[in-house]
Each structure stands twice: as structure tokens, then as C-alpha cells.
Amino acid sequence: MPRVSLFVTCIVDQVFPQVGLAMAGVLDRAGCEIEFREAQTCCGQPAFNSGYRREARTVAEYFLQVFEDADYIVVPSGSCASMIAHHYAELFDAGDTRIAGLASRVWEFSRFLVDVLHVEDVGARLERVATYHDGCHALREMRTKEAPRRLLEHVRGLRLAEMDAAEECCGFGGTFSVKFPEVSGGMARTKIDSILRSGAEIVVSTDSSCLMQIQGVLSRAGTGVRTMHLAEVLDSR
Amino acid sequence: MAEPYQHKIANALGDPKLQLAIYSATGRLADGRRRTVSTEAFPDYQELRQHAHEIKKHTLNHLDFYLQELERNVEARGGRVIWARDGQEARAFIRNLARERATNLIVKSKSMTTEEIHLNEHLAQDGIEAVETDLGEYILQLAGEKPFHIIAPALHKTREDIAHLFERRLHAAHETTPERLTAIARAALREKFLEAGIGITGANFLVADSGMVVLVENEGNARLSCSAPRIHVAVSGIEKVIPRAQDLGVFLNLLGRSATGQPLSVYTSFLSGPRREGELDGPEEFYLVLLDNGRTKVLADAEKRQSLYCIRCGACLNNCPVYRKIGGYSYPWVYSGPIGKILTPQFMGVHQDPWLPFASSLCGACAEVCPVKIEIPKILLALRAEITEAGIQKGGMVEKLAFRMWAWLMRHPRIYERVAPVAAAAASRLPRAGPLKAWLSQRDLPPLARRSFRQLWRERRK
């Protein structure tokens, strides 16, 4: 039985706790031994992406301390998983033993299911037309392209209607969304045009931060399309 | 952000006609690229990218060696190399050459390097007319504008715009088909080609082992610029050198595909100096101006040196969701898009436009399509770190303090657990300002959860 330590990102913890619960439920049913370390907080990405490397490093050091002896660290976010798996290397010396092998222990949720547990059918059921948004870091840094789609294809009652701009950024980008709100908003509106063209009722992704941006614009535009994290879809029965 | 750019960005976003023009033109170029580099169309693409990256890396790590080899071989073929530390030295050489050869008309083919040193404006001040002969550049020169895009300079101009411009500036009839518009430009330019004393081109590649300048184009105007006038001057950044002629097989296969979705551009010219005895064509004199203008400064930084690998294909612009919104005129320098975002701060210094490296969602689409694998997001992050380190961005002090407090809080989970909901509740009651106001200007905000994940988890465990 694989031992899984959940890293519930700060945005999931504070804004979308149901995503964390859904992920725990799916992993539990897939036969994992799950733990949640309460001392955890954030991966440090907000500081790193804003150029505050010293602050990012102190938070990263804290993360590594909390998860020191964890086997698998599974994350409901491609972006946060990539911060840990790839960008920590830029914050520490190359020879630092704390980051050695980190990339093979930290997994984005959907790829952990498909590539480590070899599970594609989690027994979920959801009667919806769904479209999938490729989060940029999930797609380009964590190579998450096939896994979420395979999982969605096995959800009973769900039809996957790909949008034409699935791989285009939603415009969130962390502090970019508030430093350049008009540009970020413009990007999001281009994204939702593509979503609406797909005819989907729900937008699914691996990252709550993208979904917060997309939901915010969908709601502002008065559309009835809703966003759901992949974990919530897979936890539907 | 600096005021003028805020306005430029707002103008671009608020112009539906421009938005459509940018979107459709960059979309067409990006689609073309995607088709020609697909696994079915071009199975070796990824290996070739890596190969190109390695060649550029090797060459720039030994740039002194290859530049000297290039100089020897250019001169052995009867050309001359001029080393220009900056724009002023490059311009002075060209101006003096024009004076010595008693010409005041120059034809030019498209060159971002000469845009970089504002060559045309300076020559005009000295009474020398430099005429752009690339159709897009010619349109912009008539309109008094700068390139909007590295490879499609007049991408933002509609056919109707161009028809009006030709009517006004060339007293031409009102024509709106691309064929007729091109014919008008061609007739006007042909006169200039025949009269010009000097032809100036850029260079796509400089080949060290054969002293060759390689030019890639679709219109034939570059070929004419370096063969019709008596004198050919190529102006190139020092980073354009590649070691061997055989390396062109790597780069030419990548450049056309990445730029426009062409397996090979229409014209590829291999120019090896002035006409020799017994040859029928080619210029009588050939000069290669090798420009530094800040490149050695970039070269000195081992981490960001890869910025100089760029072969100016424009793929990063076409695939950038930010460029596709704000367009080429929202960037402070001639190089726009993702590549401009990393080149500008390195050439001009981070102090000049400290907002620029932050104007990215770090989506990584640029790095994904870059034919020489420049890690643009990584360089943006390094530049952001330099800027916050120097504390020069707007609101930098407040932000730094906020991140210090945040970093402390993130190491104290019990306090974080209590503080986060209180802070959020307080923020929602305060007048809408700062980041919250910025967020709400564009989209709705979900409410914070009543109970955090950690609280729910704890309850479930009981």
C-alpha cells in the first residue's frame, strides 16, 4: 500500500477545502495510506515568482522539514508540485541532500493516479459535458497532458468536449493577475470564449488557482458554466 | 508601471480592430509553425532543437575564437570587417562610407539590428535617405512607425490602412488587394534599387569557417539590396555567428518552420564577399559591421547568456498570450514579446523599465516553441529577483515587507491558521483597494471557505 502524504496547497486549504477532501477520498479508495501533516503551509511559489528568493527559500526550507521523511507527496496542483519538484533546485545548492530525489517523490494528483498507481477508472459518475483546461505548469513543467483526460474518459456519464484553446494560459499567473489586471482579465476572457464554444457545462483542471480565475470571469460574464477541480469530478458518485 | 506603457497597453486592449488583427495574424503564424514541426511532418524536430541549442551554447562560450575566424575568412574573400562597440560607431562607419562614395541613397532590407541602433533616423539627419525595401517595413516607414513584430513588422495594419497610406504618401490609386498593393510598392521601390549607391542588410547567420553571411527572406528584396547597388554593408550582432557551413542544416530547418511555418523560406542567400574576377554579379565592395551594443554585457552573465541564442524567428511572440493582447507597441524597445522582455532589461539595465519582467503569467508557451530552447521563464524569474533585490519596482518597499511577514507566517502554522481567516474577513470589509480592487476590476472572487481544509480534516478524524 503506497504511503501518501497530502500537500494541500494554501489556496485549497483556505478557499477550496472540498478539493482537498475529494483528493483524499479518491486516493483512499485507490488503496493509499493517507496522512496530512498539519504543520504544512505553502510551497513558497508566491514569493519565488515575485522575485523574493530569500523569503521563498525560508518557506521552502520549512516545507522540506515538514515533509522530510514522506514517501510520496501528492499535490492537487501542477503549479505547486512543479515549484517543489523543479524550482527548489534554483533555491538550494546543487549538492544539497534535502532536494535530492525530490522530483520523484512529488506528484501532481492526476499523474500520481495514472503513472504511479496505474489507475484510470476510479469508479466516478457525473452526468455532465466537461471541458479540460491545461494548467500551464501542470502541462509544461509536470508533463500532465494525458493523465487527466484518461481519468475523465472513465467517469461514467461524463462527456469530454475539448475546447480549441485548451493549452492557452487563463491569465492567472499569481501576482500577475493583480499587477496587470486588464491584461490578465483579457486573457481570461479569451479563454472563456473558447470554453463557451466547446459547449461544456463544466470546466475541469488540476489547478484551483486557474479555476479561481476562470470561475471569476465566467461568473462576471453571467454564464452558467461552472468550474470543478479534477479531484471533485473523480470524487463524484 | 511606467505611465506611458500603461496607456499603450490600455489602448491596445481597448481597440477591437487591433485585437482582431493581432489575434488572427499571430494565430496564423502559430498554426503554420505547429503544422510544420509536428511529429508527422518533421520527426527530428525536438532533436534538432537540442542540437541548435548546443551549437549556440558552444559558439557563445567560445565567441572570441569564432569571431576572429569569421573576420579572417571574410577578409580572405576580399570583404572588410568593422567592429562597432555601439550604435554610434556603426552609424559613423556607414555615414562616412556614404560620404566617401558620394551617395545619399541607401536601400535596406529588413534588419532588427539596424532598428536597434535607429540607423534610418540618424542617416536622415545627415541628409542620407535610407529606404526600407521589405514590404512590411516600407509600409511602416511611410507611416512613420516602428516594427510591431520581429518578423511581421506591419502585422497590425489592415489592407484598408495600407491602401489609404499608399494613396496619401505615394499618390497611388485606391487598391486593396494584396497583389495590387504589392505592385504599387514594387514600382516605387524598383527606382530606388536602381539609384541606390549602397545596400544595407542584416544577417540571419554568419558562418565562421567560410566567412559567409546568410540571409533568409520571402520577398527577394534582401537579395536585390545586396546585389543591385555597388556596395553591400551587412550589419549584424556579434551573436549571429555559427561555426560551420554545415551547421546551417540545423538552423535553416528550424528558422522557417518556427517563424512562418515554411519548411524553408523562399530565398536563402549565401553571400561570400564582393564580386571576384570573372563573376557576373555581386557588389564591388563588401563590409560586415559586427555590433556589440551591449551584447558582451549579456555574454558576461553565465546564467542569462542563453538570451543571445535567439535567431529572431518570432515564434515566442506568436504564441505569447500577453503579446497577443498588448501587441508590439506596448514594449519599451524594438524587441517585443517574450524575447524582448528578457533582452530589454539586460541591454538597457533593469532600472529603466523594472515592471517589464513582471508582465508575464509565466505560462511557458515561449520556451515551449523556442527553436533554440531559451529558458525564457527562468530568465524572467532571475530578472525579477534582481529587481526586487535592488528594490526599484513601484511599491517595492510595501511588497517586500508583506512578503517578509508572509514568509514568517508560513513557518508558523498555528498562527497562520488563526490569522488567515481574520485577515481575509478584514480585507472584505475594508474599502476595495490594492490587489483586491485589481482582482475585482476584472472578475468575481470566491468567498473564503467557512472552515479550512485543516479544520475539516481534524473534525473528520474525530
Q: CA geometry: angle at B350 spanning B347 and B355, to 5°?
A: 120
Q: Minimal CA–CA distance to B252: which of B211, B296, B199, B311?
A: B311
Starting at the edge strand that comes first in sequence, how are the strands of the sheet with A129-132 ordered? Answer: A159-160, A129-132, A202-205, A226-229
- Asked if A125 and A150 count as a contact pair (C-beta separation under 8 A), the reply is no
Cell readout for B244 is 560551420
Does residue B246 share a domain with residue B277? Answer: yes
DSSP string, B22-33: HHHHHHHHHHHH
Any domain includes B389: yes
- B271 part of a folded domain: yes
Whether residue B133 is found in the same domain as residue B115: yes
| B454 inside domain | yes
Is there a single domain that holds both residue B253 and residue B117? yes
* Amino acid (1-letter code) at residue B26: T
Contact A14 B387 (CB under 8 A): no
- Maximum distance among all Cα pairs of chain A, rounded to whole angstroms: 52
Is there a single domain that holds both residue B206 and residue B281? yes
Nearest CA in chain B to A19: B453
SS3 A67: coil
Asked if B449 lies within 8 A of A182 by C-beta distance, the reply is no
Among B109, B362, B316, which residue's Cα sits nearest to residue B213? B109
Instruction: List all residues 6 or more positions away from B113 whose beta carbon is below 8 Å from its beta carbon.
Output: B202, B203, B235, B236, B237, B291
Q: Among B387, B443, B450, which would you mutate to test the A interface (most chain A Cβ atoms within 10 Å of its Cβ)? A: B443
Give the dihedral of Cα atoms B67, B73, B79, B85; nearest 10 deg: 10
Q: Which residues pair with B108 in a beta bridge?
A: B132, B200
**Cβ contact B451–A44 (<8 Å):** no
Q: Rounded CA gap, B325 and B13, in Å?
A: 6
- The dihedrals phi and psi of B178, each to the nearest 5 degrees, come to -55, -35
Residue B403 falls inside a structural domain:
no
For residue B363, tell me if it sits in a domain. Answer: yes
> In the beta sheet, which residues pair with residue B205?
B214
Q: Map out the domains of chain A as residue ranges.
A: 3-116, 129-234
Examine the domain organization and report whether B107 and B229 are in the same domain: yes
Q: Is residue B224 assigned to a domain? A: yes
Of the residues B293, B327, B359, the one at which a domain ends:
B293
Q: At what angle do helices A181-198 and A208-220 cross, to 10 degrees?
A: 80
Counting as low any pLDDT under 70, the low residues of chain A are none
Phi, then psi, of A159 in degrees rounded to 5: -115, 130
Is residue B181 domain-resident?
Answer: no
B147-195 residue pLDDT tens = 999 999 999 999 999 999 999 999 999 999 999 999 999 999 999 999 9
Domain that holds residue B369: 1-36+313-394
Low-confidence ranges of chain B (pLDDT < 70): 1-2, 430-432
Bridge-partner residues for B233, per DSSP? Answer: B200, B287
Q: With CA atoms as reference, report the closest residue to A183 among B256, B324, B345, B341.
A: B324
- Do both B266 and B129 map to the same domain? yes
Same domain for B21 and B101?
no
| Whether residue B223 sits in one domain with residue B237 | yes
- For residue B454 the three cell numbers come to 485543516
Q: Which of B260, B293, B326 lies at the terminal end of a domain, its last residue?
A: B293
At residue B197, the 3 state secondary structure works out as: coil
Encoded amino acid at B312, one letter: R
Q: Residue B459 has which C-alpha cell? A: 473534525
- How far is A115 from chain B, CA to nearest CA, in Å? 23
Q: pLDDT tens digit string along A163-194?
A: 999 999 999 999 999 999 999 999 999 999 99
Q: What is the C-alpha separation between A135 and A140, in angstroms, rounded?
A: 8
Q: Are A24 and A36 in contact (CB under 8 A)?
A: yes
Cα distances (Å, whole numbers) of residue A17 to A11, A231, A234, B153: 8, 11, 15, 49
Rounded CA Rg of chain A = 17
Contacts of A40 in chain B (CB under 8 A): 413
The answer on B116 and B208 residing in a single domain is yes
DSSP three-state, residue B289 = strand
Q: Which residues pair with A235 in a beta bridge?
A: none
* Contact in structure between B139 and B157 (CB atoms under 8 Å): yes
Q: What's the gap in Å between the CA of A43 and the closest CA on chain B?
A: 9
C-alpha cell at B301: 552573465
Asked if A173 lies within 8 A of B385 by C-beta distance, the reply is no
**Taking CB atoms and an 8 Å limit, are B443 and A219 in contact across chains?**
yes
Taking a C-beta distance cutoff of 8 angstroms, is the pair B127, B104 a contact? yes
Supply φ then ψ for residue B452, to 5 degrees.
-70, 170
Instruction: Report the CATH fold assignment for A129-234.
Output: Rossmann fold (3.40.50)
Q: Are A57 and A51 in contact (CB under 8 A)?
A: no
Grid cell of B416 as nine digits: 497562520
B391: left (phi over 0), alpha (psi -120 to 50) or beta: left
Work out the end-to-end distance of chain B between its first and last CA atoms, rounded to an integer number of angstroms: 51
**Residue B224 and residue B128 share a domain:** yes
CATH code (residue B77): 3.40.50.10420
Nearest-neighbour CA in chain B from A65: distance (Å):
10
CA dihedral of residues B26, B29, B34, B37 (deg, nearest 10): -140
Domain for residue B185, yes or no?
no
Q: Among residues B74, B54, B106, B88, which one has the least CA distance to residue B228?
A: B106
To the nearest whole Å, the CA of B457 is away from the closest chain A CA by 8
B326 to each of A15, B7, B323, how far by Cα in Å? 31, 11, 5
- Considering its fold, how many domains does chain B have in total? 3
The shortest CB-CB distance from A184 to any of B386, B434, B442 is to B442
Same domain, B440 and B341: no
**One domain, residues B253 and B141:** yes
Total number of residues shown for chain B: 462
- In Å, how far from its chain's centre is CA B357? 15
Picking from B337, B361, B394, the residue at the C-terminal end of a domain is B394
- What is the C-alpha separation between B314 and B152, in angstroms, rounded? 8
Chain A and chain B share a number of CB contacts under 8 A equal to: 191
pLDDT at B2: 64
